[in-house]
Amino acid sequence: MEPHSIQIINSNSDNTITLDDEALRSIFARDEIKDRYVSVISVTGVFRQGKSFLLNFLLRYLRMKYVEKRDVLNWLTPEEGPLKGFEWSPGSKRHTTGIHMWSEIFLANLPSGDEVAIILIDTQGAFDTQATMSDCATIFALSTLISSVQIYNVMRSIKLYDLMHLQCFGDYGSLFTNGESAPFQNLCFLVRDWACPYEKQYGVDGGLTLLKEVFQSSTPEIKEQADSIKKIFDKMSCFLLPYPGRVVDASNTFGGDLREIDNEFKKHVQEFVTMILAPQHLIVKTVNGEKVKAESLMFYIQEYSKVLKGGTLPKVETVFKATVEAHYRGASAQALKVYKKNMNAECRYSRKCFTPIELYKKHTTNKVKSVDYYNKLKKFTDLEVHDKYLVQLKDCMDVEFKWYKEINDDKLREVEERKKRMEQQIRLTTGRAGGGGGLRTLGTAEKVGLAASVVGGVAVLALGVSKFFNNSRGNSD
């Protein structure tokens, strides 16, 4: 199937949201990404201001850089075909509802050595006639909670209501780090259709100048909003983009043809996309300072969706509790993988088979290692949730042990049966050789040869049993 946009959060007519868990798992439960760290790029802002259109520039870069492994010095040539990916449409009515993710995940290796999966998110536009303030805050809250970079798409300048949109979610950050550091990561104001390059030049330098002016405003209301926002994001930046052209803005026939986009816009959008997506600029998703892997992020999305689904914004404590719940759920899953990895190496993939006492000792030792690993992942001091998932972890390891015991028992049975067959063969061979005299009638060399054949047969058996059980569960881990 061709890569496409997948809606993971549905925005309902009764002002509630619904998580499509199957769609979410189709992205995050893939073997190739579930154990990778993630970099999540989200685009949010007022409706009908080109968010989906912008995302397709990001898609073009990601494909060329991380899939096709091509040169990205000049990646917006018309010869590469029109922009495509996230759907957009002209007109005054909103196009995207809820939250969408791109089905294709892009894999990158960072200069730090981290292996990262890059995920793109498109969000429902805010402040249209069909959405309440609570709807807007819910979608923005969820996209901010799960992203490592939140691109806030605004038109022409940064205005008071843009800041109010951000600040309405600000209280949700207050408990995440107890005020010691900003709870959320990178916020980038992307100012579209900037009309005053003679005052502040296009790009990041002009954007930083504008951002500084806004945040140093002497207007009390703006200053209050700006101060609140500074407390909840770790880093903030701003980028000024020119007008893309009349065909893009006012035509109902524009289909992504790069020749119809103004060259000045293409020049600076290339600069912006590189600033966000080049390997040296990618930001790994963290929660409370801990890097998050894809499978764990899935748990966070599931927990956040539960507390944000009701149509009214929940209490801050509820969102924080969901964060703690998702953290320990992810830690438990990671610790179980440690147990299975060790048991696989010692019991499943090994040629050896063990006595019941030996096997139980290995289970106990690896269980302790797994619990130690789980405890080291502790990031929140919530003993109730910690102990809840610790019990779940221990139960899961005990269930897994039953399977490893079955493997070992089958190995022992096979070895015992082969041993019996070998002994029978020895009796038959010695009986024929000595006419009933057994081993006593054989010479020394004959005895040694016979013993070697028995030992060799047992060794071949052990190897064969090992190979059989190596493949017995397929890709179940």
Summarised one tens digit per residue, pLDDT across range 292-304 is 999 999 999 998 8
C-alpha distance from residue 328 to each of 377, 391, 396 (Å):
8, 11, 15
Q: Which of 126, 125, 127, 192 is nearest to 156 (CA)?
A: 192
The CATH number given to whatever domain includes residue 48 is 3.40.50.300
Residue range(s) defining the domain that contains residue 218: 5-312
pLDDT on residue 108? 94
The residue out of 278, 312, 346 marking a domain boundary is 312
In a domain, 142, yes or no: yes
In a domain, 317, yes or no: no
- Greater confidence (164 vs 265) lies with 265
Mean pLDDT throughout 38-63?
Answer: 85
Measured over the CA atoms of residue 358, residue 364, residue 365 and residue 370, the dihedral's sign is positive
Residues 22 and 129 in one domain: yes
369 contacts: CB under 8 Å, gap ≥ 6: 338, 339, 342
In a domain, 204, yes or no: yes
DSSP conformation class of 126: B
Residues 135 and 282 in one domain: yes
pLDDT digits (tens, 9 = 90+) for 411-432: 888 888 888 888 888 888 777 6
- State the Cα–Cα distance between residues 131 and 159, nearest whole angstrom: 20
Residues 226 and 352 in one domain: no
pLDDT on residue 81? 84
Using only the alpha carbons of the chain, give its radius of gyration: 30
The residue out of 312, 346, 363 marking a domain boundary is 312
Neighbours of 129 (CB within 10 A): 8
Lowest mean pLDDT among 72-76, 334-338, 360-364, 369-373: 72-76
Domain count, the chain: 3
In a domain, 239, yes or no: yes
Lowest mean pLDDT among 42-51, 221-230, 279-288: 42-51
Classified as helix, coil or strand, 462 is helix
Residues 68 and 200 in one domain: yes
DSSP conformation class of 475: T
- State the Cα–Cα distance between residues 265 and 38, nearest whole angstrom: 29
Classified as helix, coil or strand, 285 is coil
Amino acid at 288: N
Task: Give the pLDDT band of residue 472 (cuts 50, 70, 90).
Answer: very low
pLDDT digits (tens, 9 = 90+) for 167-191: 665 555 554 444 555 678 899 999 9
Residues 233 and 97 in one domain: yes
In a domain, 477, yes or no: no
Instruction: Tell whether the model's pLDDT for residue 376 goes beyond 50.
Output: yes
In a domain, 268, yes or no: yes
In a domain, 322, yes or no: no
Residues 335 and 358 in one domain: yes
- For 207-228, the DSSP string reads HHHHHHHHHT---HHHHHHHHH
Residues 291 and 258 in one domain: yes
Output the six-digit token pair for 313.
Answer: 């914004």
Neighbours of 254 (CB within 10 A): 21
- State the Cα–Cα distance between residues 412 and 430, nearest whole angstrom: 27
- For 365-431, the DSSP string reads HHHHHHHHHHHHT--S--HHHHHHHHHHHHHHHHHHHHHHHHHHHHHHHHHHHHHHHHHHHHHHHHH
DSSP conformation class of 307: H
The residue out of 279, 312, 345 marking a domain boundary is 312
Task: Give the pLDDT band of residue 193 (cuts 50, 70, 90).
Answer: very high
Classified as helix, coil or strand, 230 is helix
Residues 19 and 117 in one domain: yes
Residues 278 and 378 in one domain: no
Share of the chain above pLDDT 70, in %: 79
Give CA 218 to chain center in angstroms.
41
pTM exceeds 0.85: no
Instruction: Tell whether the model's pLDDT for residue 128 goes beyond 70.
Output: no
Residues 373 and 453 in one domain: no
Amino acid at 44: T
Output the six-digit token pair for 136.
Answer: 């807007």
Instruction: Tell whether the model's pLDDT for residue 471 goes beyond 50.
Output: no
Residues 458 and 403 in one domain: no
In a domain, 156, yes or no: yes
The CATH number given to whatever domain includes residue 346 is 1.20.58.420
Residues 213 and 108 in one domain: yes
- Greater confidence (443 vs 18) lies with 18
Output the six-digit token pair for 354.
Answer: 């063990």
DSSP conformation class of 46: B
